[in-house]
Structure 1
Amino acid sequence: MSTIQFTVEGMSCGGCSSKVKNTLEAFDQISQVEVELATGEVKVHVEPDQNIDKEQIKAAIEDLGFDVVN
């Protein structure tokens, strides 16, 4: 399993972090999403046999109205 990590700005509540988590978990290639609201850290776990572009994930987060800083 590989992990892709982002720092996301603009998440201010549990609803925000849930929105990010639920949106990313809808991708078939993503097996698990961890969101740390206090630090803005989002970890996305992808199964080894799955291929997903980091830019796709970033775009999905930004489409929710949040800023991805890395």
Structure 2
Amino acid sequence: MSDTLDARLLAAHAAGDKFALVSLYAEAAESAADDKTRGFYLTHAYVFALETGDQRAAKLHEILKGMGRD
């Protein structure tokens, strides 16, 4: 994960911006070095999507199920 993405994640957490966290964790998952790390980030994106009613929750759930993380 880049320093910039890390800083944006920290700022979104500090601001309580759950909508931004969905996008930022999904972005972090795209650049993850391995499946374990990717699953970690996708799980966070999924949880925040559920909390906010974000329409991406269904897609994130499908990806996680495909990874055996359901």
TM-score (norm 2): 0.31
Structure number having the greater helix percentage: 2
Structure scoring higher RCO (CA < 8 A, sep ≥ 6) equals 1
Structure 1 length-normalised TM:
0.31
